[in-house]
Structure 1
Amino acid sequence: MPVRRRQQRRVRSMSTCSWCLPANTLRTGTCADTGIPASDLPAPVNGARRAIVATGRRIGGMVHRLLPLLLLAAVACSPTPPPQPSRYPLTGQVLAVHLDRNELTVKHDEIPGFMMAMTMTFPAEREVVLDLTPGDLISATLEVLDGQARLLDVKRTGSAPLPGNTNEIALAAGLLEVGDAVPDAALIDQTDRRRSLAEWTGTPTLYGFTYTTCPLPNYCPLIDRNFARLQEAIAADDTLRGRVRLVTITIDPSHDTPDVLARHAEVLGADPAVWTFLTGDPATVDRIAGRFGVGIVRPDEPGGEIRHNLRTTLVGADGHVLEIYSGNDWSIETVLSAMRRAVG
């Protein structure tokens, strides 16, 4: 082989091996690739060495700047731990047992830091529901997760008479909402005639709940006045006349007998063809009021004030709830407009 080609090959080999040796490396031994003694290899060119060092520094700086972003990405991509339930001790009395839904209606004491004392319905284990009856006193753990609550570790601690001056049990059975069908009930009107709520199916009807001795002017008396004004407006409206009805159900059936309701209707100028007053046995009244969302707490002594809320409901001709007016701030025109839509 000519000398010139051997020298070129030797230079290329030496150049390749020289990049493997840092500047401060002891130049001893033999290159593994060429077999040339390391002492014979030329040192890397200074400019090339500086370029390598600068490149290393740039790479190190990039890694230093990107490291926080890489860490954040790793955290973001890591799986989110599932939410953990909250648990609270609960004590109270079972008001109703719902075997078909595996639920208990419980009038519970205050749950410190979470909920005031009230009556609510909770799901529970099937064997627990089967073992309890209304009136039982219980202790349990209330577990809450994602807005859903259930009772765990339910233990019977005794029993007590059910409250008799309230319709809490009926309320807990579930309130009617828009779209729900109105349940039937047997009641008695102001003429002492037995009536069924199903009789009003086929005619849009507005239901209200009051009692004749209510002392608060902005409660029952206001609802009565609003119904009287609605009766007048209906009579003057060609679209509504003869096509809608008004029904007032008393929440004080012990006092508001048919005779009392008849006198009350006369004072209000109620037209029996439009406006009917109903009473009935207390259990039936409590049940139907509770379904319509009217809570009742009666006084321990006769003649005292009955505590209740106001809830007026418009039911369509098909017997399903169309509109619900809570409180006493609904307007006459709002109800009339809803009635016009109901009659089509």
Structure 2
Amino acid sequence: MPRSHLSPAAWADVFQGQEIVGVAIRNRHTLQTLSRHAMPQDQASRLLDGQIPTRVATIFLNDSSDENVGFRDLSGMTHPRLGVSRASFHDGVLVASMDRDGDVYPVGGGFDGPFEKIHPGGWPGVQRLRCIGDQTFAVTLARGLYQRVTVGQWERLPGIPVSRREEELQAAGFRDLDGFSAAEMYAVGGHGDVWRLHAGEWRQMAFPTRDALATVTCGGDGNVYITGEGGSLWVGERGTWRRLHQGDSGVLWNETRWFNGQLWLASDDRLRVWDGSRLLAPEHAGIPILASGHLDAHDGLLAVADLWTVSTFDGHSWRQVVTPFKD
């Protein structure tokens, strides 16, 4: 890959001493990262998660100057999640906290706060922020799906019941959401808990396993791809499911995305592509791409981030965006 997009000085200012825990693409020229202050395990274990400083950075990919990255530090964010807003009322980035109110901090696009609340006092347990079309949704525990309808206002999508027993057994999702459009979406989580929105109504779908489910992606080929326990991969076409891959990993996939006509999958220890018959490590010019962690795809660009590096792929070439510089 070519040299890092960031200069040594920019890297030292923004990423040195940080561990990257999320990546999101606002558009082809603007990349977001979420990171946390790195510290020894024994030190971190003495803190509440919300006491660990959080940083959201914006990288301008079409800017080659030394000022092509900026950041905002946030405090009090518990197990933060990164997302974007592409709505007419806000084109920027969102950081959600897994706290009592489901606090969300908007940054960029003319915004720097204040905090928004997904469900005041409801302990929603935000698992993911997903942008489908121009609408942003929060995916939460106990089958919660919330739509950001305007600045500072989130509304829970109706029509998805959950019983007290399902909550107690952790049988009810959700962990992820995707859609062919905002009118046809799929939500997954829990133990084989799959729901589909169609014709304005949410319905639970039969799924052939009670394994824990992690991600869902609506592919450009018209299929729906779901990953689950052990790193397994399933495919369905709006209702009938079959397993494509029996996973052998104890690590769930963090994200899956459809890009360049293929399904891409990232976990803490691997990056893979489904070629139609196998999960393969991606290559470029015959050389394996060593990447893992978190990924996103949008606007003709794929981004992959591990704890210390960020790379992008435009379907033709890979580019190093963030890489550590040694003294």
- The TM-score with structure 1 as length reference comes to 0.23
More helix by share: 1
More strand by share: 2
**Which gives a bigger RCO, structure 1 or 2 (Cα 8 Å, sep 6+)?**
1
- The TM-score with structure 2 as length reference comes to 0.24
